[in-house]
Amino acid sequence: MDKKEIGIRIKTIRKEKGLSQKELASLMGYKDVSTIAKIETGVNDVTTETLYKLANYLSVDIRDILKVNANYNNDYVKYIRSMVGHNKIIMNASGAIIEKDGMILLQRRSDNGKWGLPGGIMEMDETYQEGAIREVKEETGLDIKLDYLVGLYHNKDLKWPSGDKAHVICAVFKAHILSGDIHKDHESLELKFFSKDNLPEIAAIDHKNAINDFFNGIKNNID
């Protein structure tokens, strides 16, 4: 939600609670109603701290202001971002090195135009293995079998074009194709197999380190 939508929600809830702008401003410790008025009209940004204070004085859950479903399993990342904005958080991810005829499958992402491994942020209640299989299926159309864990890799300063920041911990598996035909989803500009000697520049440090370890023969048990 943008600040205008948040402002509308705050105004609606305030009126439902029978509070005037003056009364809410007093509860919040503001000298006059101008700050509340600017929040409700979307002029002022609203910090997370202010949202929690407003929710408290309006006797609602902060999710009622943000219109976030209490069952955040449907979109965990969206739920967290609704609370912290673009602030840096720790996130878990999974990816796969899919080998065929001595080459590995890489994805050029649509959000930044850069190359990396198929994979992404895990969903609630997923294991690393389940996340890797799901992400590959969504992004490439392929059903895969995981052979072994290459390793766990850190990308401590990842920043998305949206401005979201995170320290990502990514589990990367070596996998082979079981079935399916390669096709792109909205997250991909290209999907292409590359040999070790013909790799494009790999943008993310965690993916780069995983690919290096794979070609150096690093193997770890999945269990």
Residue 151: other Cβ atoms inside 10 A: 17
Which residue out of 40, 49, 139, 190 is catalytically annotated? 190
Residue 70 has pLDDT above 50, yes or no: no
Same domain, 155 and 111: yes
Interatomic CA distance for residues 138 and 104, integer angstroms: 18
Is residue 138 among the annotated active site residues?
no
Number of structural domains the chain divides into:
2
Same domain, 153 and 95: yes
Segment 100-120, tens digit of pLDDT: 999 999 999 887 889 999 999
Residue 72: inside a domain: no
Mean of all residue pLDDT scores within the chain: 90
Same domain, 13 and 96: no
Residue 45: inside a domain: yes
Residue 82: inside a domain: no
Residue 78: inside a domain: no
Give the chain's radius of gyration (CA, Å).
23
Same domain, 102 and 200: yes
For 13-25, what is the mean pLDDT? 93
Residue 74: inside a domain: no
Interatomic CA distance for residues 61 and 81, integer angstroms: 16
Residue 213 has pLDDT above 50, yes or no: yes
Q: Per-residue confidence at 51, pLDDT binned at 50, 70, 90? A: confident
Q: Per-residue confidence at 148, pLDDT binned at 50, 70, 90? A: very high
Interatomic CA distance for residues 99 and 134, integer angstroms: 17
- pLDDT for 1: 58
Q: Per-residue confidence at 219, pLDDT binned at 50, 70, 90? A: very high
For 172-187, what is the mean pLDDT? 92
Q: Which domain holds residue 185?
A: 89-215
Taking Cα atoms as reference points, which of 209, 213, 215, 204 lies closest to residue 108?
Answer: 204
